[in-house]
Amino acid sequence: MAGLLCRLLLLCLAAAGASSDLVLEEVRRSLDLSTHLAKISAELSLSNTPGGAAASTFLLALEPGLEPRLAHLGVQVKGEEEEENTLEVKETKVKGKSGKFFSVKLPSPLAPGAKIRVSVEMVFTHVLQPYPTHITQSEKQFVVFEGNHYFYSPYVTKTQTTRVKLASRNVESYTKLGNPSRTEDMIEYGPFKDIPPYSQDTLKVHYENNSPFLTITSMTRVIEVSHWGNIAVEETVDLKHTGAVLKGPFSRYDYQRQPDSGISSVKSFKTILPAAAQDVYYRDEIGNISTSHLLVLDDSVEMEIRPRFPLFGGWKTHYIIGYNLPSYEYLYNLGDQYALKMRFVDHVFDEQVTDSLTVKIVLPEGAKNIHVDSPYEINRASDELHYTYLDTFGRPVIVAHKSNLVEQHIQDIVVHYTFNKILMLQEPLLVVGAFYILFFTVIVYVRLDFSITKDPAAEARMKVACITEQVLTLVNKRLGLYRHFDEAVNKYKQSRDISTLNSGKKSLEMEHKALTSEIASLQSKLKTEGSDLCDKVSEIQKLDGQVKELVLKSSVEAERLVAGKLKKDTYIENEKMHSNKRQDLVSKIDNILDAL
């Protein structure tokens, strides 16, 4: 009868797709229920029965009810020197069985009769259900966990122990299979002997758990890479307290006065940012949230985030946090080949749970041949284009999604791409070109008349301005004649050559007459235009006549001095007087010219 049962058991194992030669000699399982996560770790002693074939893989099974709750599964093998090596895990299917199965590749084939020690770590989310589901502000929070007394496996388990760690010593009830022992916040089950494959027996614990039941319902993480030395990171976070829903009103007075009021609520939490983070901001739709503190440590930047109100069960909040990072710490290149190595998701709070995560990585404009290496499976969406300052054809954006993440998912993702460095000149050239076009447009606009109809008044003003400019030029030129004639008089006094003086006087008369005639003609044009500037030009003409008279007097006295008809002292005195009068007249002319 026993032999028949053994044959049936072997046939069942073969039908299930599991190797009948593998046996779990010993299973030491631990359930950590001290937070809002269920962390299950198991130390397995796996053996291959003598006479069978070598096994290169073994199966891990997951109960059908826990499939959507599994966030992380990791398997490690311990070597002779207690070194842990992570094993490759792939999801597989077993014919005729429901639930999830995973194929674990051993570091080397397990020979018949050999044993290996394997460590399995599993993290489940949203398996602790508040009971009661609604509590008042003054009540404590109790939760219920339902699991399996046995390690769910496709193999025979010879012996198994289970240790359950709770959040407190206050336990309402728990299942008592095998007469478990309890000490403080610990419950120990077993040892259980000779457990058949796929054994299930409900393990249920109802206990007090006031740890923060925070859940990130939605999170968008945007990483914008610039080859000018900066990486901008911005995270938009939607938080919800998924514990027992607050029943009744909220009293701020009781909350501040009584230490145990709202004991399961969340006042604040700490976010760990990279050590190189700078220009950190924390805000929401209203604006900057000032109830936060930043602490710079040697290996990280610790930010205490305090929402505008404490979070009770069912309450939500939304905020945005951002910072800048130096690109040289995360961006590597060899020629035109670039690799960006950053975390896919970063630390938000201890024991974090993220229901839905969207990561957008904005690469520089011109990045091509994009390839992503992820430490775990992610869902790549179609790449997008992002336009910002000085972009022409848009920056490529990598979009990736993943759900049900925990702290074990805080790992680096590597993005490989190629980028031609000559494209870095694009933005400076665009700036230079924009300024060139702007200045050229202003020049054209100022110098050309784009009016459709003529403005007689504006034309008259422009004509008067043009005539006035000509008058200024001619008057200054005429005043220059006097300076040249003074030079001729000085030469005459030195050389006593009367021909030099006569030549200078003749030149003065001819050029002065021509300039005066032109100024008079312009004066008549101003009068025709009806401008009152013609009176000022007339005054200039009168003053200029007086200046000319003084110049000629000076030349006459110079002749008398040279001929000996005038004493030198008298000449010097008269010359000084004529010079002062002449200077006064020239000053008056200059003042009128400035007014014009």
C-alpha R_g of the chain: 48
**pLDDT attached to residue 165:** 96
**pLDDT attached to residue 518:** 86
**pLDDT attached to residue 89:** 93
Structure tokens at 162: 């289970």
Q: Distance (Å, rounded) from C-alpha 488 to C-alpha 176?
A: 132
Which of the residues in the chain have pLDDT under 50? Answer: 1-17
Q: Are 365 and 393 in contact (CB under 8 A)?
A: yes
**pLDDT attached to residue 453:** 66
- Amino acid letter for position 127: V
Distance from the Cα of residue 351 to its chain's centroid: 26
Structure tokens at 69: 């709750």
Q: Are 246 and 179 in contact (CB under 8 A)?
A: no
- Amino acid letter for position 396: P
**pLDDT attached to residue 563:** 76
Q: Distance (Å, rounded) from C-alpha 475 to C-alpha 519?
A: 8
Q: Distance (Å, rounded) from C-alpha 536 to C-alpha 538?
A: 5
**pLDDT attached to residue 15:** 37
**pLDDT attached to residue 519:** 81
- Amino acid letter for position 259: P
Q: Is 529 exposed, middle or buried (0-12, 13-18, 19+ CB in 10 A)?
A: middle
Half-sphere exposure of 592 (CA within 13 A, CB side): 24
Q: Distance (Å, rounded) from C-alpha 336 to C-alpha 67?
A: 44
Q: Where are the alpha helices (DSSP H) in 116-206?
A: none
Q: Where are the alpha helices (DSSP H) in 379-455?
A: 426-447
Q: What is the dihedral of CA 467, 470, 471, 475, to 10 degrees?
A: 180
- For residue 482, the SS3 value is helix
**pLDDT attached to residue 230:** 94
H/E run at residue 515: helix 498-528
Half-sphere exposure of 403 (CA within 13 A, CB side): 6
Between vectors from CA 444 to CA 441 and to CA 448, what angle results, nearest 5°?
145
Check residue 66 and report its DSSP letter.
Answer: G
Phi (first) and psi of residue 110, to 5 degrees? -85, 110
Q: Are 119 and 84 in contact (CB under 8 A)?
A: yes
Q: Where are the alpha helices (DSSP H) in 371-455?
A: 426-447
Sheet holding 301-305, edge to edge: 269-273, 301-305, 292-296
